[in-house]
A = this chain, B = another copy of it.
Amino acid sequence: MTAKAISNAQPQRRVGVREKSAETTRDSLLMAAIKIFAEHGFDGGSIDQISKAANSHDRMIYYYFGNKESLFVAALEEIYRRFNVAEAALTLDLTRPKLALEQVVRFVLHYYKEHPEFVTLLNSENLHRGKHIVRSDKAQQFSSPAISVVDDVLRRGIAEGSFRATVASRDLYMMIVALGYFYQSNRFTLSAFLGENLETPEVFEQWETFVIDAVLRTVLNPAAL
């Protein structure tokens, strides 16, 4: 699937090359679905909005995806795929575990910031108690890469002696993700309640520094601090 190739798919009508046309329509519907579901949630986003955003028709969604739920599942799978692609491109210097861990934290925080649809789609899915994702065959395989990256770094640090041996990679992974996710997910209510706009670069950087510090202090042997 060539996701990047289809943004602004306005003139997809009468494309000329017959074989490409189908893929283009399907893809632009999927892109539109991600956008609309991210903005309005599963319930708030309508089939009509999506098909219009894709310069297509309601009927095409049923043609390609069957129904609204399956379209949502496809959207979820697509954003996870993208996350994994981005993460795979992350090259860590495992010989320096502390630095590598810092890189992981930075990557996660920036990815969430630059891909708010990732956060809102997952929120929508959790509101529905994960009922869509369990229908996906690909669910399990999505998470493993992410957690294994953390696991790799953690093992190296322990082997090296700078990291504490009692930290579970699952907990460390969840900690990093939680601190990145929450900031993005709740930035509107937080901004209102704290009286401080969390969307300014300065506040974000301050948070990033704090999170790196907190993660390292959690993981490092006191001697290595």
Q: List residues of chain A with CB under 8 Å of any chain B CB.
A: 40-44, 120, 122-127, 129-130, 133-134, 139-140, 142-143, 147, 167-168, 170-171, 174-175, 177-179, 181-183, 185-196, 206-207, 210-211, 213-214, 217-218, 222, 225
Contact = CB atoms under 8 A, between A and B. Distances in A.
A43 B140 CA distance: 29
Contact of A127 (B120, B142, B210, B213): B120
A213 B207 contact: no
Most buried by B among A167, A168, A194: A194
Copies of this subunit: 4
B140 A189 contact: no
Given A213-B218, A222-B222, A183 B174 contact: yes
Rank and list the top 10 A-B pairs by shortest CB-CB distance, nearest first.
A130-B188, A143-B193, A178-B182, A43-B44, A43-B43, A214-B218, A171-B210, A217-B217, A123-B123, A126-B188
Nearest to A129: B188
A194 B147 CA distance: 9
Contacts of A44: 41-44, 127
Contacts of A41: 41, 43-44, 124, 127
B225 A189 contact: no
A137 to B, nearest CB: 12
